[in-house]
Homo-oligomer: A and B are copies of this chain.
Amino acid sequence: MGTDTFRQENASLLVLAAISLALITILSVWKLKQFKYRLVNETGGAMFYGMLLGVAVRYLQFDGAQGIKNHTCTCTDLNATPPFVMVNISSQGHWSSPLDSTSQMGTFNLDVLFNVFLPPIIFYGAYTLDQKRFIANLGSVLTFAFFGTLISCLCIGVCMYGFTRLMVLLGQAADGDYVLIDCLLFGAITSATDPVSILGLLSDLRVDLDLHTLLFGESVLNDAVAIVLTHAIATYDRKGTGHAFDPSAFLHSVGSFLGILIGSFCMGFIFTIITALLTKFTRLRESPLLETSVVLLLSWSSFLSAEASGLSGIVAVLFCGLSQARYTILNLSAEGRSRTKQLFEVFSFLGEIFIYSYMGYILLTFPPHVFKALFISGAILTVFISRACNIYPLSFLLNLGRTNKITCSFQHFMVFAGLRGAVAFSLAVRDTETEAKQTILTTTLLLAGFTIWLLGAAADPLLHALDIRMGEDSEEDSKDFSSEVSMRGPDTARGLWHNLDHKYLKPMLTHCGPPLTELLPQWCGVFARIFSPTHVQEDEEQFCEMELHTSPLNLDKSEPPPTPDDSGSEPHDDLLEGDLGLGTSPVNTMETSVNTS
């Protein structure tokens, strides 16, 4: 009992330290913001305090650490109860022994961090994305996220390979320490720009909304690509025959890339379908508490199911968030919607602080850090180069198709705003077996610190210098949209997505849109009747009409509803895509929009 109590007290102390860190971060960053000091946001602050704790632990080596070391549990204990939730004790296995030797103060278990705190951040980011603008810019966002990340990965990989050759030439590394695949892995890892810090930056600065959507949408989706790409490269690394190119391993990793991306996407979407049908066909709306709980549990399940089936949980929860905000939200009650948003907001806010504190902490306490000056300076340089190789050519190509061009100043700012953060860190920390991989972790952490602090602080002056309009009012902007729409009239070309979304998914998953019985062919009659039962439809019609005209997440904002004759049943109100969402056509305000506030 004595040792038990002792261990429990120590565990409590560890969590207390984490909580105190979070409180200090919250209060000091908030105080700084009050003084209109915008250079530091929560992510930077949390990382800073994490580093302070790291310094304290490293140089004071206080008793707690020793205490834990002397009281580690026996293996039987662990056998007995498979630890809850977060339980992958696996990944840190790689760096367990080095950590052992210096400091035991883990403060957070890595997997708690990634399995509990990261999913709500990603979910909240996706859930609160401005859907209207996101869909309007879908083509561009997808181009940047997919091709941009591939370009970025290759570019960083090749450049860094050059730097490692230089290191060999200068005698700073042995030949063979850093192979091309390591450099590509580093490229994939650092291609993930960070939605958390970018969101923090953008919401503090209130930049142009299209730029906001492009940057944030890209950062959210390129995480998915970077995660899967990293996995694919790791797969190639394991399967491959070393330095020579191995076509079968390459094919395998390409297959794994596509398989995981598509599989995770489907997994996220399946859980949205379950949630949407559950909230559509039951009267859960009567209890906001139940609604919120069900949405929370099912969204979390999307993450867990993906992890359990060997897919990427983060990618699944990302698509789950995107689709929940598009369909499920329409079935929720007003209170349920605001509760769900607020719940995820708190989770996301605290998760962000915990993760970045931990990043700062680990930067100073991770024992096998490998600081290679040339690698680090090369990485910082390369990150800018790769970002330029990604943004400028793709913007040029996209501008060929866009009527609403991505201006040069937008492009400059996008190159600049490639902050790195939690996802890159989570990818780097998963494997630290070789020296090359330890170098990658160290460099990734420094890169995150550098981009978050320096670029974050420089963003405000840069926006002024580039003359990008700030502090824009979203309401005013949406009026612009509707006037443009009335001038243009409905476009005749309709994309695949639009058809699928408006003709099938919306009517099936929500009470909005035309009844399925009208849309589906005769032989689908039974199916159509099941998914649009008339007794529910009648009750909900008014609610759904109302939903269509107001932004589901901004409940306090009361826009005057447009005339009823041009809403709802006409399927041309969402995406007028002559350009497959490249950003050409302004979108209609009648559509449900989700404003990131």
Which A residues are within 8 Å of any B CB, using their own CB?
A: 1, 3-5, 7-16, 19-20, 22-23, 26-27, 30-31, 34, 68-69, 72-93, 95-97, 99-100, 104-113, 238, 278, 282-284, 287, 289-290, 292-294, 296-298, 300-301, 304-305, 307-310, 313, 339, 342-343, 345-346, 349-350
Contacts and interface: CB of A to CB of B under 8 A. Distances in A.
A290 B30 contact: yes
Tell me the number of copies of this protein.
Answer: 2
A24 B275 CA distance: 13
A10 to B, nearest CB: 7
Given A4-B90, A81-B106, A304-B12, A30 B284 contact: yes
B108 A80 contact: no
Contacts of A26: 290, 293-294, 297
A221 B109 CA distance: 34
Contact of A78 (B72, B81, B105): B72
Given A19-B301, A73-B78, A80-B92, 16 more contacts: A7-B89, A8-B87, A8-B88, A11-B86, A14-B87, A27-B278, A30-B287, A30-B290, A34-B283, A68-B82, A74-B75, A80-B95, A80-B97, A80-B104, A81-B96, A343-B346
A106 B82 contact: yes
A243 to B, nearest CB: 21
Q: Which of A10, A19, A73 is packed against the most chain B CB atoms within 10 Å?
A: A73
A13 B95 CA distance: 26
A308 B16 contact: yes
Given A9-B308, A294-B26, A15 B85 contact: yes
A90 B7 contact: yes
Contact of A84 (B7, B81, B109, B298): B109
A275 to B, nearest CB: 10
Given A30-B284, A73-B78, A307 B109 contact: no
A82 B16 contact: no
Q: Which of A19, A74, A90, A289 is packed against the most chain B CB atoms within 10 Å?
A: A90
Contacts of A72: 75, 78-79
A368 B343 CA distance: 40
Contacts of A300: 19
A367 to B, nearest CB: 10
Contact of A11 (B4, B8, B27, B87): B87
Contacts of A293: 22, 26, 346, 349-350
Given A15-B304, A88-B4, A296 B346 contact: yes
Contacts of A308: 9-10, 12-13, 16
A305 B95 contact: no
A9 to B, nearest CB: 5
B82 A104 contact: yes
A69 to B, nearest CB: 7
Nearest to A91: B4
B307 A88 contact: no
A124 to B, nearest CB: 11
A15 B84 contact: yes
Given A19-B300, A30-B284, A78-B78, A307 B84 contact: no
Nearest to A9: B308
A81 B99 contact: yes
26 contacts: A4-B91, A7-B87, A8-B88, A8-B91, A9-B310, A11-B82, A12-B307, A26-B293, A27-B294, A30-B290, A73-B78, A73-B93, A75-B78, A77-B89, A77-B92, A77-B93, A79-B96, A80-B104, A81-B96, A81-B110, A82-B104, A83-B83, A85-B112, A292-B342, A296-B346, A297-B350
B100 A304 contact: no
Contacts of A282: 27, 31
Nearest to A335: B342
A29 to B, nearest CB: 10
A81 B92 contact: yes
B82 A14 contact: yes
A86 B7 CA distance: 11
Contacts of A13: 304, 308
A272 to B, nearest CB: 15
Contacts of A91: 4, 8
A292 B110 CA distance: 26
Contact of A80 (B3, B100, B294, B343): B100
A22 B83 contact: no
Nearest to A74: B75
B86 A294 contact: no
Contact of A86 (B84, B113, B238, B290): B84
Contact of A289 (B83, B85, B89, B346): B346
A96 B1 CA distance: 15
Contact of A345 (B8, B289, B304): B289
A504 to B, nearest CB: 26
A328 to B, nearest CB: 15
Contacts of A108: 84
Contact of A90 (B68, B73, B99): B73
A88 B4 CA distance: 7
A536 to B, nearest CB: 15
A355 to B, nearest CB: 12
A345 B89 CA distance: 31
B292 A346 contact: yes
